[in-house]
Amino acid sequence: MAGVVVVAATVLSYTIGWFVDIPVLVPILNTAASYPFMLLALKRGDLRVAVARMLLWALTMGLCATLLSCARPAATGTLFLRGDAYRAEMFEWVLTGRGAESTPSRFIPQHIGQAAIFAGLTLATAGALSMPMGAVLMNYMGHYVGTLAARSAHPAATMVLAWHPWSVVRIVSFVILGVVLSVPLLSRIVTVAIDRMAARRFVIVACLGLIGDIVLKALLAPAWQRMLLRLTGW
């Protein structure tokens, strides 16, 4: 039942954000839709449920941001923070193969920096600031995917394949870290009794995922760009 509420509340957060039309408010609304349900699961000591709820939240955000951007690309370009800038960067990569996406010397420091900032914010705020950061990332990625699909000869396939596999791995890793690294500060505020071994395993999985993200991107990005270029018909 909580999962259904998370999905519904996340969809509602985009609805409110759309009508209010204040870009900085959108990731805050997104976070408010899921954060209380993560807390409830952690207070019960159920780390797996907390992670599952937040993964469902991330999936719902990805769908909402993608579909909205496919339907109304001009509006979401300004509604989603950094939406148009990221779209322009990624469109250039799809067209030419040039850009950070295919350049390890550029994307590796970027990925490490984002992961470090996200982890630090999570530890310092129990996820209260890192999860809006994650929402910003999800929304501008969804904007790229949705707008690419809107201009593609094969929109449905593009909507799936433009969520690059390495990006999906990174999203899952961030979600896991966001949940587990929230626990130390939360445990000082409320009673949180989780399985420490399970927490360690989750952190190991997340760290391996962040490494896998870099490896997959380095190996697959050039071929993925060529595939997307053919798929879009540009």
For the stretch 179-229, pLDDT in tens is 999 999 988 888 787 888 999 999 999 999 999 999 999 999 999 999 999
CA–CA–CA angle 101, 105, 111 (5° rounding): 65
Non-local (6+) Cβ contacts of 163 within 8 A are 62, 66, 141, 145
- Alpha carbons 181 and 176: distance in angstroms, whole number: 8
How is residue 67 written in tokens? Answer: 């579909």
Cα end-to-end distance, the chain, whole Å: 44
Q: What is the dihedral of CA 137, 203, 162, 70, to 10 degrees?
A: -40
pLDDT on residue 179: 97
Q: For residue 217, what pLDDT is reported?
A: 97
- How far, CA to CA in Å, does 30 sit from each of 119, 129, 171, 215? 19, 12, 15, 30
What span, in angstroms and rounded, lies between the C-alpha atoms of 198 and 4?
Answer: 25
- Write the DSSP symbol of residue 127: T
Over the chain (234 residues), the average pLDDT of each successive run of 10 is 94 97 98 96 94 98 98 96 96 96 95 97 96 98 98 97 98 98 90 86 97 97 97 94
pLDDT at 14: 98
At residue 193, the pLDDT reads 77
- State the pLDDT at residue 107: 96
Three-class SS state of 161: helix
For the beta carbon of residue 64, count every other beta carbon within 10 angstroms: 23
pLDDT attached to residue 133 = 97
What is this structure's pTM?
0.95
Please provide residue 120's backbone torsions phi and psi, each rounded to the nearest 5 degrees. -65, -45
pLDDT score recorded for residue 181: 97
